[in-house]
Structure 1
Amino acid sequence: MLKLKMIFLLILTSKAYSQAEKETYLFSKDIKTNFENDKNLSRYQVAATNYSISSYYKQGLETWDKQSASDTLEKKTISTEDSLYFKSFKPVNAKKYIIDRSKNERIILINEAHNNSRHRVFTTSLLQDLYNNGYRFLGLEALWKNLDNRGFAVLESGFYTKESQFGNLIQEATKIGFTVFRYEGTSRVNDGGKTREIEQAENIVKLMKENPNSKFLIHCGYEHIIEGVPSITTWDKAMAGRIIEMTGINPFTIDQTYYSEKGIPTLNSPYIQLVNRDYPVIMVNKDNKIFTGAIDDSKKIDCTIIYPVTKYINNRPDWLSLSKERKTVKIEKTKIKEYPALVLAYRINEYEKKGIPADIIELLDASGKSNLILEKGEYRILIKNSDYKIVSDFIQTVK
């Protein structure tokens, strides 16, 4: 009898994981199991990205950090010289600084870490003010296919764009009136990325020349914003450097990655604690010079955002509220038939077209405190059980 029970459990488990493989948005336990069964060197990066896509922000950061060898996880420090240099700068509100400076710029490049949805939320927060200042084009490295006239991303639009906050960034941009475009290169030349950087720049510059009176915002990954010497030496120059080379225009380059919080707190930059603010800042000195890193930094970017450590409200990052423009939405217990439950909120008519959920939460049991965070509007709420079967499907209005 025991043997039959074991076989039955194995069959159920096999069915669950078979179904999970077909799903885009996963329960945390399934991401963890996939990670533990994965023997590839890239498993930390894969799991971190999967956590991010399914809205497990903290787990995504933690998993990314764990790919470092254990002997590199020591508390970060800075030299006395760098500390004194840093203290010669004063914090200013990052959003305000960027919006003010954008008035006199033609093209802005802002980066992200691909497993960090906070960076996408910050870019989203800039959109309306940038549009008011004349920006009309938003270029996305992560976009595989242009949106055409649809106005929102779908699962086939890209890999990272499947994440809710990336989907929200795209939806907000199109709603405001931006033309959202892809600019990724198509060449598969194996030259360490040099051709890719050139092609990306060429695609952006082509559109700039076709629209000479328009301003451009480019949201990309990591070091593509480097104007100076990238750490990936095979590039020769990063995309930003190529844009300068092709146009003579110096882009306004903004880094979000260097001084964001880590999943493992001891890895946080000491600069975060030195700033001690509860909002993102850019450091400016009395001569209007911007802090971008150590004194001898050769990467050359225009500014670096220093983020505070995230505060959580009912297990959700406080910055998801977009300065309280979004509302907290509690799911009635009567709507949840069984636990654990995966709750996905889709804008009306987007789920049927394989759109991206505006938010996702996981509820492990009836005592779980986790709320959806959504802008005003109507949503189709889907609740899935551990077998990824939809057990509840209803419309929710957010006022």
Structure 2
Amino acid sequence: MSESKTILRVAAKGDGVAADGAHFKGTAPGDTVASDGSIARGPHHVTPPCRHFGVCGGCQLQHCDEETLRDFVTSRVTNAALKEQLDVDELLPAHLSPPRSRRRATLHIANAGGRPQVGFREAGSHKIVDMQECEILRPELFALVGSLRQMMARRSGRYAVDAELSLTDQGVDCALKNLPVEGLAQTEALLDFAKDNELARLTLDQGYGPEAVWEPEPVTVSFSGIPVSFPSGSFLQATADGERALVADTRAWLDGSKLVADLFSGLGTFAFALAGTAKVLAAEAARDAHFACKSAASFANRPVHSMHRDLFRNPLQLDELNRFDAVVLDPPRAGAKDQIALLAHSDVARIVYISCNPSSWARDAAQLVKEGYRLEKLHPVGQFRWSTHVELASLFVKAG
């Protein structure tokens, strides 16, 4: 009979790993796995707070204690850096967003067994977990689950609807995709749903793009006190808490900079945070986000110049980059390979790189370091609590 195995760490996809490299789902460091597969809980294994854990694909790590979660977020970032042989001057303690703080999410709705099911999907499956509770969503978002279920219960036949929820200044913005609306009764039911739940906006996309059907007042999201128009489906940091952590790093690390380029700027999360002491160029490819940022800057009289530019196809060139004291960038998961190649050869003194993918970040970071930048600070951030999704903030300083 083989001996039991002790779990040493948590791997990138959430499985516990023993000394021989064997992976065991649902285990935490210090757990012991017997030869028959039974698990004896160790000091870092806790009772998951949600009844759906283990089935719902929204969380992978609810069985791990706070120390393990911090170690996991940190190791995901440091392992990526180690793979590229990156040295960091200062590794900051990991920041974790608290439970029930997620302010944006996509829920799935389908008719199963004659009744609507509303929730996230099971891990690796299209099957929906009919959500009865949720420890990650803001209460304002979770409060809509029952109302969505009730509204869809009046419908017959097969349907598969996505509900994109975002918390805005005015309340919850709800965008429904693939929901056909035919006739007066269905239209009135939809408007009653929006009114009864005091939605900030209700948007329908029936295959021809989003169309607002309920919006009592213009929907905004505020960044550093500046209200910015919120186009349906626009990107938001997953939690306000995580956004504050990333903004605080950026402000502190770029303190004293007079001219800053914010690349992949979105609605202006970092641009408006920096615009109090610096002039900021905000470059963004999405046209609606660009116009929202531009209008907000003009109305608030902030020194933010919004530029509509696809930085994948047309990155800022050396002569443009060299005008700036500092650059902040927050690219999509693919990273910013072409823009980084130019930044690496620029005269920009400080670069703050925000990333939601440690692997692409490490690849880009290696290019900066190769060309003379020093990785001065690295801050792991866990906005997606209990999931394997990890973010980070980093500061690169030009050597010499």
Flag the structure with higher strand content. Answer: 2
Choose between structure 1 and 2: higher helix proportion.
Answer: 1
Same fold (TM over 0.5): no
Task: Report 1 or 2 for greater relative contact order, CA contacts < 8 Å, sequence distance ≥ 6.
Answer: 1
Query: Normalized against structure 1, the TM-score is what?
Result: 0.26
Q: TM-score, normalised by structure 2?
A: 0.26
